[in-house]
Amino acid sequence: MSTTILAAERLNQRFGGIQAIDDLSFALKEGEVVALIGPNGAGKTTLVNLLTGVHQPTSGRVRFEGVDVTSQKPYQAARRGLARTFQIVQPFPRMTVLENVAAGALFGGASPSVAAAMDTAREQLEFMELAQFADRPASALTLAGRKRLELAKSMAMRPKVLMLDEVNAGLNSSEIDGALRLIRKIAERGITILVIEHLMKVVMSLAERVLVLHHGQLIAEGGPKEIVRNSKVVEAYLGQKFADRFGGEAANG
């Protein structure tokens, strides 16, 4: 149950004079849901980029299922089972919703043929409650719909680890509730999930473990209730007011 699936080992990333990721190590265990939080510019998206081969780290290693994958290309990460969604959604705008998802199944999910990919895509759209939009162009979806399309596309790639980069940003509260439900459904399938989030409501209700990033360093790690009481985290990110409120709730509940 608790084997490590994805590990970062002493990762460093410099962009010119900026140390975006500073000697960072952590591990994800198979099947767990982990949240990655931190202020803007802390290096959260950079970290995901390092884990999926978009950038090569200045030093350090990335291990996936025990294999060193540090120098992989994004398409190789996708085929291995390391899928991600983007903070800014990235659909294929003039393809239908179905074709978008089929692209994930065909290339990342290694479907044997275009027809098989279309079938897989139909199942995923059903699972993601997008089936009624299958034949619409992706550009016709609302933001919430496009975020969900990103999820369906990633799921069609049959990932082992799914990294969700602010899938809830820009959504209203009922849309967020819908997205939460879907993420839980994904987690029930045993997929390891790393969620990058600003919304503490989401973090508190989803995550089994929270990693806190600040100036490229991991400043705290632990269960969500410990994290909101951690003085370093409160100072760097949450703020005292928030900590009082959530800390109180945690104590009462």
Asked if 71 interacts with another protein (CB under 8 A), we say no
Asked if 106 interacts with another protein (CB under 8 A), we say yes
Among 90, 172, 173, 231, contact with another protein (rule: CB under 8 A): 90
Region near another protein per CB under 8 A, out of 15-23, 110-118, 174-182, 225-233:
110-118
Least distance in Å: CB of 16 to another protein?
22
Asked if 92 interacts with another protein (CB under 8 A), we say yes
Q: Which is nearest to 167 in space by CA: 59, 82, 83, 229?
A: 83
Asked if 149 interacts with another protein (CB under 8 A), we say no
Asked if 241 interacts with another protein (CB under 8 A), we say no
247, two tokens: 């800390």
The beta strand positions in 77-206, using DSSP E, are 82-85, 161-165, 192-196
* Residue 92 or 127 having the CB closest to another protein: 92
Stretch (H or E) spanning 145: helix 143-156
Asked if 132 interacts with another protein (CB under 8 A), we say no
Interaction residues for another protein, span 26-55 (CB under 8 A): 52
Asked if 159 interacts with another protein (CB under 8 A), we say no
Q: What is the 3-state secondary structure (H, E, C) of 50-82?
A: HHCCCCCCCEEEEEECCEECCCCCHHHHHHHCE
In the block, residue with structure tokens 């540090």: 70
Alpha-carbon distance of 132 to 106, in angstroms, equals 21
Asked if 157 interacts with another protein (CB under 8 A), we say yes
Asked if 103 interacts with another protein (CB under 8 A), we say yes
173, two tokens: 């509260």
Q: Which is nearest to 196 in space by CA: 165, 150, 154?
A: 165
Asked if 233 interacts with another protein (CB under 8 A), we say no
Interaction residues for another protein, span 172-211 (CB under 8 A): none
Among 2, 40, 113, 174, contact with another protein (rule: CB under 8 A): 113
Among 41, 65, 107, 136, contact with another protein (rule: CB under 8 A): 107
Region near another protein per CB under 8 A, out of 55-63, 87-95, 128-136, 224-232:
87-95
| Sign of the CA dihedral with 50 first, then 52, 55, and 56 last | positive
Residues engaged in binding another protein (CB under 8 A): 52, 73-75, 78-79, 84, 86, 90-95, 99, 102-104, 106-109, 113-114, 117, 153, 157
